[in-house]
């Protein structure tokens, strides 16, 4: 029973990964960031990358990394079918993440990568991390 639930959950995450944009974690993070009064650009192309959020003036980019597609150390799972294909594909994804981060940093951007599971745990905390990096964190007793 539990195994079945996990499998369908993984499958759902894979499907949302294929979609690539506007996943549930991305949307909940955006909502929290917006609620803090922080404004960002979506679909803003920098070189060959298109981060999930771009704070142009502050030169900060944010990526939301899905646990499956980006090889989260805690939740990465390898599909049993076509194992070689998936190993190659997911390794390539991680390499590309690293290359993109290095490229952006070389161009003077700060890069914040947030795991999907961190947003699922608390989108509000993730938003506060962004606010802190922007030097705009508000004192809060929450
Ligand atoms: Zn994870």
pLDDT in tens, 45-101: 999 999 999 999 999 999 999 999 999 999 988 888 999 999 999 999 999 999 999
Q: How far is the CA of 10 from the centre of ligand 1 (A)?
A: 11
Q: How far is the CA of 6 from the centre of ligand 1 (A)?
A: 14
Q: How far is the CA of 26 from the centre of ligand 1 (A)?
A: 14
Q: How far is the CA of 66 from the centre of ligand 1 (A)?
A: 7
Residues near 5 by Cβ (< 8 Å), separated by ≥ 6?
Answer: none
| Measured CA distances, 107 to 44, 46, 59, 68, 99 (Å) | 15, 10, 10, 28, 12
pTM of the model: 0.81
Domain 2-133 CATH class label: alpha beta
Structure tokens at 42: 């979506």
In this predicted structure, the answer to whether residue 3 has a pLDDT above a threshold of 50 is no
């Amino acid at each position: 029973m539990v195994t079945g639930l996990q499998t369908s959950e993984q499958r759902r995450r894979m499907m949302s990964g294929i979609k690539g944009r506007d996943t549930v974690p991305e949307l909940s993070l955006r909502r929290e960031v917006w609620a803090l009064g922080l404004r960002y650009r979506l679909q803003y192309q920098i070189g060959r990358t298109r981060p999930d959020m771009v704070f142009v003036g502050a030169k900060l980019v944010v990526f939301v990394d899905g646990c499956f597609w980006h090889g989260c150390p805690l939740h990465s799972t390898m599909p049993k079918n076509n194992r070689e294909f998936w190993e190659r594909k997911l390794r390539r994804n991680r390499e590309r993440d690293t290359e993109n981060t290095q490229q952006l940093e070389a161009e003077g951007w700060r890069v914040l990568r947030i795991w999907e599971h961190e947003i699922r745990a608390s989108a509000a905390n993730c938003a506060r991390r962004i606010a802190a990096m922007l030097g705009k964190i508000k004192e809060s007793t929450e």
